[in-house]
Amino acid sequence: MGKLVAVTLALITIASAIPIVAHIWVPPADISTHGHLIDEQMSDTMAEAGVCFIAAQLILAAFIWMFSNRKPGDKIKNFPGGAKGLVTAAFLLVGTEVLALGFFGTKAWADVFLIPASANSMPVQVQAGQFAFYFRYPGADGKFGPIHPDKINEANQNIFGLDVDNDPDSKDDIVTAEMGVPMNKEIHLLMHAKDVGHSFYVRELRIQQDFVPGLDLSLHFTATKVGRYEIVCTQLCGLGHYNMKAYLNVMSQPDYDDWLKKQASMQ
Amino acid sequence: MHDVSAHFAHHTPPQGFIRKYIFSVDHKVIGKQYYGLGLFAVVVGMALSWLMRIHLVWPNFAIPGLTWISSAGAPGGIITPEYYLQLMTMHGTLMVFFVLTNVPFAGFGNYFLPIQIGADDMAFPRFNMASFWVTFVGFCVLFAAFFVGDGPPLSGWTAYAPLSAMPGTGPGQAMGQTLWAISIAIFCIGQLLGSLNFITTTLDLRAKGMTLMRMPLCTWAWFITSCIGLLAFAVLLPACILLILDRVAGTSFFVPSNLVVSDQLVNHSGGSPLLWQHLFWFFGHPEVYIAILPAVGIVSHILVNSYRRPLLSHKAVIYCLMAIGFLSFMVWGHHMFVSGMNPFSALVFSFPTLVITIPFTVLTLIWIGSLYGSNLQINSASLFALGFISMLVTGGISGFFLAQPSIDIYLHGTYFVVGHFHMVMGVAAIFGMFAGTYYWAPKMFGRMMNDTLGKIHFWGTFVGTYCIFMPFHYLGLAGNVRRYSAFVDDYLAPLIPVHKFISIAALCTGAVQLIFLCNLIYSRFKGAPAPVNPWNGTSLEWTVPSPPPWDNFGGRHPVVYHDPYQYGIEGSSGDYVMQDSPEQIPTVREDKDLM
C-alpha cells in the first residue's frame, strides 16, 4: 500500500505540473507598460514554487516508498544532519528565497501604486454601482463637474448625478458605458463607488483595485496594444456581480478622437 | 504542578440521561457533541458545495427538492444568481466556523487534552458545557437564515461592508444578514469560553511529571490555538456587534455618506468600509491558523506513532507552532492588498506573510525528515496524516504567489485564491480530522473502525481532492474571477470544460465520503471491540480504557516519567515506552542541539 501511495503521489505531482510547464492556462498577453514586471515576478515565483512543490512531493513519495512496511530487523536511522541541518536549510534557503521574491517584487508594486499619475496623464472617471461600470470624460474644459449623489438616478440616465443646468463644468462632460482610451497614453482612472464595494480588473492590463465607498481612489496605466478588453468586477457586490462588466477599447489616437466626438454627440 | 485531587473533590459521576448525554459537564461528552455538530455542519456544507458546482456547469438542471427549501431561491429547482451567492455564503460560514474551528479544536481538543495531560476534566467543566451549548445556539441561529424572509445573506463568509451593513442591497441582506451577524457573535462567545478553558487547563491541571515540554504535540497545538482564539474572537465579537448596530440601530461604523442604493440616498454617514475589513481580517487571518494548527498537532501526533520513532526535533515543532501563532497576528493586511488601504502598508504586511513560510517549511521538513529511516506503519490514520503533508505543501506553496502584492494584483479575487485556501486550510484540515477520527475512534467509542473501508476512503478523497482543487489554480492563472454565479464573460467560455471536470470530481469525491459516514456509524455500534492501546501509542490517552470512565483515570493520578514520543526503543511492551511507565530504560536521544 505504501508503494502505491508513493507512485500515486508522484503521478499527481507530475500531472499537476504539466499544465504549468505546457502553458495551457496562462494570463493573457500583457498590454501595459508595467505588466512585464508582474509577469517576470510570476515566472520567477513559478520556477521557485515549482521546484519546491515537485521536490517536496517527490521526496515525500520516495520516503513513503522506501520506509513503509520494512522488515522487523531494519534499524531506525536519522536523516543526515538531523533536525539542525533541516532547520538551518529551512531558514537559509526558504528565508533567502521568500525575502528575495519580496524584495524584487516591490518595483512592480511601486510602479502601479506608489508612483502617482504623471501630470500629463489623461483623466477618466469610472463609477461602479450595482451592477454596471460607467465612465465619464471631462470634455473640452478638462474639468469634471461635481457629483450630486441625491441626483443620481439611473432610471433617468443621470448616472453621475450631474446638475448640468447649475454646474458649468458638467455641461461638456461625456458619460459612456464603454471605456475608450488612446494607445500609449497614460490614463489616470478616478474611481468612485456609488453603493457598495466593487473592483476594477482588466487582466491584460495587469491592474486591479477595489472601489471603496467614501474613498477617492485612483489607478494609472498605459495601454500599449489596440484591442477590446473586458473590465470585470472582482469584489462581491450582490446578485449581479457575475454580470458586472464593461469593455475597454484601446484605439489609435485618431480613432479615439473620433470615438470621443461620437460619444459627445450622444449626450 | 497543582494538587488536582482537591479540585475535583465535588466531581461526582453524572446521573440520568440528560446529565450524562445532553447537559453534560464531562469534557469527553462535550468533545463528542462538538464533533457531532461539526459532522452535521460538514454534511450540509458539502451539500451546499455540490449545489454550487452543479449550478455553475449545469445551470438549467432542476435540482429535485430544492424549491421546497426555497421557492424564491430555486424556483422549479433552478438556482437564481442570488441564491447561488447565498448558498456560497452559508457554505463558507458553516465550513470555517462550524467545521474547521469546531472539530479539530473543540471536538478532539475537548476530548483528549485533559486526558493527555493527566487531568480528570477541564478546569471549568460548567463553562465547558456552556461553550458547547452557546455554539449550538449560534448554529441554530445561522441555520434559521435558510428559512427566513428572502433567505440567507449573500455577502460571503467575509461579509464586507457596506454590502453587509445595508439591508437594501440584495436578497438575503435583511433578516438573513442580521441573523448571520448574531449567529457569529454568539459563536465568538462560545469560542472565548472554550479558549479560556483550554488555556487554564493546560497551564494548571497537568499531572505530576507532565512538564510543558512533555506534552504531546496535539496538546501544544490546542493550547496555542486557544491563545490565538482568545485574542482573535475577542475582535470579531465587537466587529459583529458594530455591524448589527449599523444594520438595526442607525449607526454608521462601516457606512460612509453619499451612497445611493436603488436610486435612493442612503441615510448613513461617517463610516469606513475598510474598518470592517481590518477588524474582520485581524480576526480572519488568525482564524485560518486556528483552523489548521490543531490538525498540524494531530497529524504530528499520529505520524510519530506511525513512524515508530520520535520526530527529529520535538522542540522545533513546538517553537514553530509558537512562531506561527505569533506571526498570525501580523499578516492580516495580505487579504487587503488591493482593498484601497495605503499601498505602502501592503509591502509591510507582505514581509511577515513571506516569513511565515519558514516555520511551515521547518514543520514539513521535520515530518518528511523523520519519515526517513523510520518504520512507517500504514493504516487509515497514517494515510490521511501523510496526505495532510502533501496537501499542506501544495496549499502552502500557492501562498508564495499571493503573499507578494505585485502578483496579487493579478491573482486577487480569482480562483487561484480559492484553490489556495481550500487546499491549505480546507482539505489539509479535513485530512487531519479524518486522521484523528480513524486514530481516536477506538478510544472514543471503544470500537475499531474498518481499516479497509478507511483505506478506500483515503484513496477516493486523496485523488478526488487533488482533481477538484488543483485545477482551481489553473483557472486563477487564466484570470477566472471568483464568486461568480455564472460564467458569461467572453474570456470565461473556454474555461467551462475545466469547471465541468471539477464539478464531476466534486460529486464523485462527495460520494466517497459516504463510505466514511457508513464506516463511522456502523463501527460505533458494531465495530470490533477496541483494546486499550490499539496503535501502541505512548501518550496518556492510551493508558485509560476504551472508552474511558467518566473521570478518565478512575480516581488515580498518573505520574509522567518520559517525553511523549519514546518510540523505536526496546521497551517491555514492544518498541515503545509509555509516558507514565516507570521503566528506567535509555530513551531515544533526540537532537540535543535543539533540546
What confidence tens digit (pLDDT) does each residue in A213-235 have? Answer: 999 999 999 999 999 999 999 99
**Cβ of A67 and B371 within 8 Å?**
yes
H or E element: which one contains A229?
strand A227-232
Pairing of strands A122-129, A186-193: parallel
CA-based nearest distance A211→chain B, Å: 7
DSSP code per residue over B465-511? HHHHHHHHHHHHHTT-BSS-SS--SGGGGGGHHHHHHHHHHHHHHHH
Query: Confidence class of residue A71 from pLDDT cuts 50, 70 and 90?
Result: confident
Nearest to B4 by CA among B119, B117, B128, B127: B119
Q: What is the mean pLDDT of residues B170-174?
A: 90
Amino acid at B268: H
Distance CA B137, CA B153 (A): 18
Q: What is the mean pLDDT of residues A75-100?
A: 90
**Cβ of B410 and A206 within 8 Å?**
yes
Measured between beta carbons, the chain B residues lying within 8 angstroms of A8 are 459, 462-463
> What is the percentage of chain B residues whose pLDDT exceeds 70?
96
pLDDT value of residue B586 = 66
What are the pLDDT digits (tens) for B4-14?
Answer: 544 554 468 88
Give, in words, the CATH class of A121-265: mainly beta
Interfacial A residues in 180-219 facing B (CB < 8 Å): 194-197, 199, 201, 203, 206-215, 217
Measured between beta carbons, the chain A residues lying within 8 angstroms of B365 are 86-87, 89-90
Measured between beta carbons, the chain A residues lying within 8 angstroms of B394 are 16, 53, 57
Q: Which domain holds residue B90?
A: 30-256+269-594
What are the pLDDT digits (tens) for A180-204?
Answer: 999 999 999 999 999 999 999 999 9
**Cβ of B170 and A238 within 8 Å?**
yes
Distance CA A115, CA A208 (A): 16
- CB atoms under 10 Å from CB of B288, counted, come to 19
Q: Which of B404, B475, B570, B588 to mutate to test the interface with A (most CBs of A within 10 A)?
A: B404
Query: Confidence class of residue A128 from pLDDT cuts 50, 70 and 90?
Result: very high
Distance CA B401, CA A106 (A): 13
The residue to which cell 466556523 is assigned: B97
Q: Are B423 and B462 in contact (CB under 8 A)?
A: no
pLDDT value of residue B176 = 96
Whether the CB of A63 is below 8 Å from some CB of chain B: the reply is: yes
Q: What is the mean pLDDT of residues B308-316?
A: 94
Q: What is the mean pLDDT of residues B473-479?
A: 98
**Cβ of A94 and B358 within 8 Å?**
yes
Q: Which of A42, A94, A97, A211 to mutate to test the interface with B (most CBs of B within 10 A)?
A: A94
Q: Specify the range with the lowest mean pLDDT, choosing from A33-37, B142-146, B487-491, B573-577.
A: B573-577
The sign of the dihedral angle between the CA atoms of B316, B322, B326, B327 is positive
pLDDT value of residue B584 = 79
Q: Which of B355, B365, B478 sits opposite A86 (nearest CB)?
A: B365
Q: Which of B79, B304, B361 to mutate to test the interface with A (most CBs of A within 10 A)?
A: B361
Q: How many CB pairs under 8 A join A and B?
A: 319
Q: Are A126 and B359 in contact (CB under 8 A)?
A: no
Nearest to B423 by CA among A12, A68, A101: A12
Q: What is the mean pLDDT of residues B122-138?
A: 97
Q: Specify the range with the lowest mean pLDDT, choosing from B117-126, B202-211, B568-577.
A: B568-577
Nearest to B263 by CA among A267, A48, A123, A156: A156
What are the pLDDT digits (tens) for B415-445?
Answer: 999 999 999 999 999 999 999 999 999 999 9
Q: Enter the C-alpha cell of residue A14.
A: 507530475
Whether the CB of A237 is below 8 Å from some CB of chain B: the reply is: yes
pLDDT value of residue A210 = 98
Q: Are B577 and B560 in contact (CB under 8 A)?
A: no
Distance CA B110, CA B33 (A): 10
pLDDT value of residue B15 = 87
**Cβ of A102 and B361 within 8 Å?**
no
Backbone angles phi and psi of A239, in degrees to 5: -65, -25
Q: What is the mean pLDDT of residues A44-56?
A: 96
Backbone angles phi and psi of B208, in degrees to 5: -60, 130
Measured between beta carbons, the chain A residues lying within 8 angstroms of B316 are 83, 87
Measured between beta carbons, the chain B residues lying within 8 angstroms of A78 are 312, 372-373
**Cβ of B313 and A82 within 8 Å?**
yes
CA-based nearest distance B538→chain A, Å: 18
The sign of the dihedral angle between the CA atoms of B537, B540, B542, B543 is positive
The sign of the dihedral angle between the CA atoms of B300, B305, B308, B310 is positive
What are the pLDDT digits (tens) for B357-381?
Answer: 999 999 999 999 999 999 999 999 9
Whether the CB of A242 is below 8 Å from some CB of chain B: the reply is: yes
> What is the percentage of chain B residues whose pLDDT exceeds 90?
91
- CB atoms under 10 Å from CB of B570, counted, come to 10
Q: What is the mean pLDDT of residues B319-342?
A: 97
Number of domains present in the structure of chain B = 1
Query: Please, what is the average pLDDT of chain B?
Result: 94
pLDDT value of residue B589 = 53
Residue B532 falls inside a structural domain: yes
Length of chain A: 267
Q: Which of B256, B373, B486 sits opposite A67 (nearest CB)?
A: B373
Q: What is the CATH number of the domain that holds B387?
A: 1.20.210.10
Whether the CB of A165 is below 8 Å from some CB of chain B: the reply is: no
Query: Confidence class of residue B575 from pLDDT cuts 50, 70 and 90?
Result: confident
Strand ranges inside A152-197, DSSP E: 174-176, 179-182, 186-193
Q: Which of A8, A194, A203 sits opposite B463 (nearest CB)?
A: A8
Q: Which of B338, B483, B498 sits opposite A208 (nearest CB)?
A: B338
Distance CA B326, CA B329 (A): 6
pLDDT value of residue A199 = 98
Instruction: Say yes or no to pLDDT of B593 above 60.
Output: no
My answer on whether omega of the bond before A72 falls inside 30° of 0, hence cis, is no
What are the pLDDT digits (tens) for B174-187?
Answer: 999 999 999 999 99
Measured between beta carbons, the chain A residues lying within 8 angstroms of B496 are none
Interfacial A residues in 68-127 facing B (CB < 8 Å): 68-70, 74-79, 82-84, 86-87, 89-91, 94-95, 98-99, 101-102, 105-106, 108-109, 112-114
What are the pLDDT digits (tens) for B195-225?
Answer: 999 999 999 999 999 999 999 999 999 999 9
Total-model pTM: 0.96
Q: Are B357 and A94 in contact (CB under 8 A)?
A: yes
If DSSP codes are grouped into helix, strand and coil, which group holds residue A207?
strand
First vs last Cα of chain B: how many Å apart?
A: 22
**Cβ of A195 and B397 within 8 Å?**
no
**Cβ of B378 and A113 within 8 Å?**
no
Domain ranges of chain A: 2-68+82-112, 121-265
Amino acid at B303: L
Q: What is the mean pLDDT of residues B48-52?
A: 98
pLDDT value of residue B587 = 58
Whether the CB of A154 is below 8 Å from some CB of chain B: the reply is: yes
Q: How many helices (H) and strands (E) does chain A have?
A: 6, 10
Whether the CB of A134 is below 8 Å from some CB of chain B: the reply is: no
Distance CA B395, CA B427 (A): 9
**Cβ of A195 and B261 within 8 Å?**
yes
Q: Enter the C-alpha cell of residue A71.
A: 522488515
Residue B9 falls inside a structural domain: no
pLDDT value of residue B149 = 85
